[in-house]
Amino acid sequence: MAKYTIDTARVILTQAEIRALFDRIAPMDLFGEFRAGLAAYLTFETAQAMGLLKDGTTASQWGEPKGDVALREDMVHYRDWWRQKVENGRGISCFRGKVQFCIRMAIAGMPEWESVLDSDGGYYQEDAYNAMGALFGWEPVEGCRHC
């Protein structure tokens, strides 16, 4: 039985918790992939306090932080995208799919995001995808062996 479902995922982390995660992950996030995903869930005030805004950016330009519906939509998008990359052996893109899904798991307060993110992922991130799939009840996949 699945431990989680995307349909019930919701934003759990507070602004302070997102900020702390942003700061904690920064030394490991060489390309800013993880932090960019987290930033979408920040309020204007928090982003401003963190120095993330370009000079002159207004609250209306920043907009509202992503909420529960966007979180679930993103999870579906990155799950499907990641699976397609694993099945087609699409190199570094497989890792990006894993990172983006893990970001959403972190925002939803699912602690397993960290162990999946830290795993080597296996052949085209197949192991990481299947570990995530076990949590969500997805069918396992096999990475492309002839790509």
Residue 137, token pair as written in the block: 């009840």
pLDDT category of residue 146 using cuts at 50, 70 and 90: low
SS3 assignment, position 138: coil
Read off the pLDDT of residues 63-84 as tens digits, 9 standing for 90 and up: 999 999 999 999 999 999 999 9
Is residue 2 included in any domain, yes or no? Answer: no
**Distant-in-sequence, close-in-space partners of 42: CB < 8 Å, separation ≥ 6:** 15, 18, 19, 50, 52, 65
CA of residue 30 relative to chain centroid, distance: 15
Structural domain for 110, as ranges:
7-52+62-136
How many other C-beta atoms are found inside a 10 Å radius of the C-beta of residue 102?
23
Is residue 121 included in any domain, yes or no? Answer: yes
Is residue 34 included in any domain, yes or no? Answer: yes
Read off the pLDDT of residues 92-107 as tens digits, 9 standing for 90 and up: 778 888 889 999 999 9
